[in-house]
Amino acid sequence: MGLLPCLRRGSDRWWLPQTERSTDAIGHLLLMDLRSGTGSKPSVDGATRDRVCRALLSDPAYFIFTVLGHPGQSPFGLDDLVTWHSKNITGQIASGDAFLGAPTITPIIEQRWRKLTDHFRTLPPAKWMEDASLWLEVTGPKVSNTWREQWPIVQIPDEPVAIVADHSMLQELARSVQRQKSLESAFDSRLHKNKLAAIKQLAYGLSHEINNPLANISTRAEQLQRGETDLNRTATLQRIIDQVYRAHEMIADLMFYANPPTLERQPCEIGDLLDKVAESFQEEADRQAIKFQISTDPDAASGQEQTILADATMLMEAIRALVRNAMDAIGCQGAISLSIQNDGDGIRILVADSGPGLSEHARTYAFDPYFSGREAGRGLGLGLCRAYRIAKLHEGDISLSSGPPGCVATLTLPLPPTT
């Protein structure tokens, strides 16, 4: 059993129990408010109105809570009470102090509530407000006579509320969840498109405004280097040239992400690509005492099952970015495992490392351009971002997850259609 939002008077607070009846009625009102949209007050349909009325007339605590929250002049009818309640319950529950300092529901409190429920079942709803203080004083201070004299008077109809069939709250809630997910998915897709458009505009601007000064700096440094006899000055000029080319490559990476080239697909043997990538890193890996391990799917009947249609150059670039990320994370003395798995629907290339792993935050943003997390050397520049773009160009995907020792990067690619 839970609690309804607190009732306040000055610095005093009172709490009433939230039962299954009140939860069901309030749930329908919240769904109705959600469906009504932003900027409009909900209009109570007949089925919901009858459901709330039945809950009010069968749940004394819910009835007292709703009546004491009504700010209008009394007397007023039950229909007016439901209308006011439907327009204000969302704000009451969402209020920042609605449950602030709520008491712990002890067995003694629950026992007193049960006794009050049994007692109020012997009374007509029109008499409930006369003894409402008994409910309030279970979890709050004594109710003053001054406040009791100001309590509203509700006119209860003599005839019982008719039962009108309505839809299940769970079904309505499920439909609302579906609509919410649909809206979130559409928003994410639009946000991704807008991000790509912004990056493309930035890349074009950088290309025009920065590449020209960089070219001038590089040309001038090379000219000075040709006539320079001092070795220290020559080395300094070379560092300037190297940094210019590094800046140029960063802009080229951004251009690639924003406006990638067209794929040149051809049959590619994944095992061969992994061997070439490992070979290109072997010398550096030896210096850092990093061991490469390459394995293929043991269930693969032949090499043909690990052949896909892809742009070999770009695919190798994506795998290299994953390996580079793993090596930067390890630093020195570790292992990197390159493996291939075929699940019948696609090929998975796994790059697992023995590094320190990734936090949830880093896994979420590691593929963003120039993500600044830099946990253990990961997420530098546009390497992972470029790999992600290449995977998407191949109708594939790429993800990072925590492995037993470190991190596992998974590049998923579709198999060619069978003929």
25 with 137, same domain: the answer is yes
Model pLDDT, residue 162: 47
Average pLDDT over residues 100-125: 90
329 with 358, same domain: the answer is yes
Structure tokens at 383: 């390497």
Can you name the residues that pair with 347 across neighbouring β-strands?
Answer: 342, 413
Model pLDDT, residue 418: 61
**Residue appearing with tokens 């709490």:** 15
Structure tokens at 29: 């009102």
Residue 196 has pLDDT above 70, yes or no: no
Model pLDDT, residue 42: 58
**What ranges make up the beta strands (E) of 312-384?**
334-342, 346-353
pLDDT tens digits, 316-364: 999 998 998 888 888 888 899 999 988 777 889 999 988 887 777 777 7
Residue 202 lies in a domain: yes
pLDDT tens digits, 178-190: 767 777 777 766 7
Model pLDDT, residue 343: 75
Give the count of alpha carbons within 13 A of 71, CB side only: 4
Reported as a pLDDT band with limits 50, 70 and 90, residue 276 is very high
The least confident of 47-56, 168-177, 257-266 is 168-177
Give the whole-number percent of the chain exceeding pLDDT 90: 23
Tell which of 258, 292, 315 closes a domain. 258
Residue 170 has pLDDT above 70, yes or no: no
Residue 179 lies in a domain: no
Structure tokens at 191: 């946000």
Residue 304 has pLDDT above 70, yes or no: no
Residue 176 lies in a domain: no
Average pLDDT over residues 198-202: 74
Structure tokens at 167: 């839809």
Tell which of 258, 291, 313 closes a domain. 258
Model pLDDT, residue 165: 43
225 with 298, same domain: the answer is no
How many folded domains does the chain comprise?
A: 3
Higher pLDDT, 302 or 211: 211
The least confident of 170-179, 200-209, 327-336, 406-415 is 170-179
Residue 407 lies in a domain: yes
246 with 212, same domain: the answer is yes
Q: Do residues 353 and 335 touch, judged by C-beta distance below 8 A?
A: yes
229 with 146, same domain: the answer is no
CATH number at residue 327: 3.30.565.10
Residue 230 lies in a domain: yes
Peptide bond before residue 42 is cis, with ω within 30 degrees of 0: no
Report the predicted TM-score, pTM, of the whole model to 2 decimal places: 0.49
Reported as a pLDDT band with limits 50, 70 and 90, residue 377 is very low
Tell which of 209, 235, 258 closes a domain. 258
Residue 175 lies in a domain: no
CATH number at residue 218: 1.10.287
Question: 135, 118, 108: which is closest to 14 by C-alpha?
Answer: 135
Model pLDDT, residue 163: 42
Model pLDDT, residue 61: 94
278 with 389, same domain: the answer is yes
Model pLDDT, residue 18: 93
254 with 222, same domain: the answer is yes
The least confident of 100-104, 124-128, 286-290, 357-361 is 357-361
Model pLDDT, residue 381: 54
Residue 178 lies in a domain: no
DSSP states of 51-115: HHHHHHHH-HHHHHHHHHH--SPSPEEHHHHHHHHHHHHHHHHHSTTSSTTPPP--HHHHHHHHH
By residue range, what is the domain housing residue 236? Answer: 184-258
Model pLDDT, residue 303: 43
Residue 171 lies in a domain: no
247 with 273, same domain: the answer is no
Average pLDDT over residues 292-296: 82
* Helix intervals (H) in 210-263: 211-226, 231-258
Residue 202 has pLDDT above 70, yes or no: yes
324 with 252, same domain: the answer is no
**Angle, nearest 10°, between helix axes 78-94 and 60-69?**
80
Residue 15 has pLDDT above 70, yes or no: yes
314 with 238, same domain: the answer is no
Structure tokens at 115: 């006794």
pLDDT tens digits, 131-164: 999 999 999 999 999 998 889 888 887 654 444 4
Average pLDDT over residues 47-69: 90
Reported as a pLDDT band with limits 50, 70 and 90, residue 110 is very high
Model pLDDT, residue 65: 94
396 with 252, same domain: the answer is no
Most confidently modeled range among 231-245, 304-318, 340-354? 231-245
Model pLDDT, residue 76: 86
How far apart are the C-alpha atoms of 220 and 388, rounded to whole Å? 37
37 with 56, same domain: the answer is yes
In 10 A of CB 111, how many CB atoms? Answer: 11
Quote the mean pLDDT of the chain.
Answer: 81
Q: How far is CA 295 from the centre of its chain?
A: 35
Q: What is the largest CA-CA distance in the chain?
A: 109
